[in-house]
Amino acid sequence: MATTVLPPTRRDLRDAPFLAAAAGRRPSRIPIWLMRQAGRSLPEYRALRADTGMLQACVTPELICEITMQPVRRHGVDAAILFSDIVVPLHAAGVGVDIVAGTGPVVSRPVRSAEDVARLPELRVEQVARVTDAIGLLLRELGDTPLIGFAGAPFTLASYLVEGGPSRNHERTKALMRTAPDVWHALLDRLAGITITFLQAQVDAGVDAVQLFDSWAGALSERDYRRYVFPHSARVLTAMADAGVPRIHFGVGTGELLGAMAEAGTDVIGVDWRVPLDEAARRTGRRHPVQGNLDPAVLFADVASIEDEVCRIVAEGRAAPGHVFNLGHGVLPDTDPDVITRVVELVHSLEP
């Protein structure tokens, strides 16, 4: 199991609402942060990114810092999420990957054989120095607002590598699992190591929590998840168990996998909008705080409908040991930023 030497800059924020709720303690208010709050819907983000590619922004410390801070200043959220992308550690390690506007991550040379896996590089900490430098800048800016670091889970990274880019059906990925399980597990083992290194570097630099995103795990049955994915996600989460920060495990469309994902090792279970939080708490044995789970599309509805949904989710979240309010996935690009601010204010006004 990995151990961590905490940096001298580690802030004592144990009573911050986000960290209190993540630890299953009663916070001073219901904490809220939103996935993809750093960017997308904010005009100040679009202006800053006008002439800068996504990957370039993700490796420029000053831009990472500024984009991460924008929603904290505008909305008053209870945690910042590091501006980055799940393919950043692959790019840093030397894998040929780019983020194409309107498409997403595109891999120049897909990984589909044992020889392809053997060619994959390992990640060295110094290769993500620009990310850790950005964390240092953020610690001086954030005051008492916690900072969340993150990484993509091995399965989601593998899907991009095998498919060569985003996929609707993950047919090549699922075929490789069954046709060449030894190659599959070797690939996920390599990716788990990269993910651990990336998360450990963020923790050592001073982040206050980490989230493991398994964006595509919902494409799997529970049987396949446990056989082909669980051991590798568990390796990552177990490696971070002694890091001294909360671990959040989140996937999209993973309602049927919540029990298995909780077993993989986590402190907080992220829930998308398809499963009510009280049901998610039941499926995970009511042992974990929950995070979620307003449907991002609801932010386009009328004020009364948004308020009703927020209040319902807060009520359902009380079934778990703790609740961090969030969306069930990321902020949609055309979301009105003023609506987000009003949701933050509403959540803060409700009884924890």
Angle at 139 between CA 135 and CA 141, to 5 degrees: 115
Smallest CA-to-CA distance from 175 within 25, 183, 75 is with 183
Residue 169: asked if its preceding bond is cis (omega within 30°), the reply is no
Q: In whole angstroms, give the CA distance from residue 107 to residue 99.
A: 9
Backbone angles phi, psi at 288, to 5 degrees: -125, 140
- Check: CB of residue 188 under 8 Å from CB of residue 181: no
Q: In whole angstroms, give the CA distance from residue 263 to residue 288.
A: 10
Kindly name the residue from 10, 25, 49, 282 that is annotated as catalytic: 49
Residues whose CB falls within 8 Å of the CB of residue 18, separated by 6 or more in sequence, listed in order: 27, 31, 33, 78, 79, 146, 209, 324
Q: Is 40 part of the annotated catalytic residue set?
A: yes
Kindly name the residue from 78, 112, 160, 228 that is annotated as catalytic: 160
Q: Mark out the alpha helices in 180-221 (DSSP H runs).
A: 181-205
Kindly name the residue from 40, 227, 282, 342 that is annotated as catalytic: 40
Q: Is 36 part of the annotated catalytic residue set?
A: yes
Q: In whole angstroms, give the CA distance from residue 205 to residue 196.
A: 14
- Check: CB of residue 206 under 8 Å from CB of residue 7: yes
Kindly name the residue from 78, 85, 208, 214 that is annotated as catalytic: 85
Q: Is 334 part of the annotated catalytic residue set?
A: no
Q: In whole angstroms, give the CA distance from residue 68 to residue 91.
A: 20
Q: Is 160 part of the annotated catalytic residue set?
A: yes
Centre a 10 Å sphere on the Cβ of residue 29 and count the other Cβ atoms it contains.
15
Which pair of tokens denotes residue 54?
Answer: 């996504």
Which pair of tokens denotes residue 305?
Answer: 């409908």
Q: Is 312 part of the annotated catalytic residue set?
A: no
Looking at residue 107, its amino acid is V
Query: Catalytic positions, please?
Result: 36, 40, 49, 85, 160
